[in-house]
Amino acid sequence: MRTTVPVIIAFLSGFAMILLFFISPEHSKIGTVELEPEVLSWVTIVGGFTLLLGVVSILRVNYVAVQRKKEGWIYNLATLVSIFAMAIPAILPESWSPLLGTGTGSIYDWLFNNLDAPMMSTMFAMLAFYIASAAFRAFRARNAEATLLLITAALVMLWRVPMGEMLLSGIHESIPEKINTYIMNGANLAVQRGILIGAALGAAAMSLRIMLGIERTYMGK
């Protein structure tokens, strides 16, 4: 029963969403209740509980690491302190104190603007160097395909920065427009659509595996 019931619920839920997609809203009502918005509301509720479960899991993993003094446990402690420092003032009502809640001037707002946002900016700034390093390794003209990739990437990068656009326009004023038309809205868009189609087929295959009970990782197996 512990395996059969979740599989049946997953199958019925997925089958209901597929069926509602092909049925008009007028024919998908039970009395005055529209099934599709009702099912989506339940999805939102379940998603909220999964977020709560994720927070509990993070707290538990980091607490165990601190308790057992594992290697690098000081970082786990910093994670726990950060979670409580951000969560507790945000949960408490603003009527108790202007420092509570998530409004302007609150503890949560100060921590987010002065600690969280600068750290995110730092991470994105560091990613630029990793991207440049990866691009240097990937864009070596070892064969015809790599040479074509190198030329395309160089043109796109020149087109995306004002200095490069000015340089290309100096050669011929129609070059930036042609790059946008033939590379960005042509070859690049075609590849993006191919990737999206592949991702959609993969999602459909995974959904069928879950509905048919072949994929059961959501039950911890």
From first to last of its 221 residues, the chain has per-residue pLDDT tens of 677 887 888 888 888 788 877 777 666 666 666 777 777 888 889 888 888 888 899 999 999 999 988 888 999 999 999 888 888 888 888 888 888 888 888 888 889 899 889 999 999 888 878 877 777 777 776 778 778 777 777 777 777 777 777 777 777 877 777 777 877 788 888 889 999 999 999 998 988 888 888 877 777 65
Q: What is the dihedral of CA 22, 26, 28, 29, to 10 degrees?
A: 170
* pTM (2 d.p.): 0.57
- Residue 60 is predicted with a pLDDT of 93
- Tell me what pLDDT residue 77 has: 92
Q: Would you mind telling me the total number of residues written for the chain in this entry?
A: 221
The confidence score (pLDDT) of residue 28 equals 65
Judging by beta carbons within 10 Å of its beta carbon (0-12, 13-18, 19+), is residue 152 exposed, middle or buried? middle
Please give the pLDDT value at position 66. Answer: 92
Q: What is the rounded (10 degree) CA torsion for 43, 44, 45, 46?
A: 50
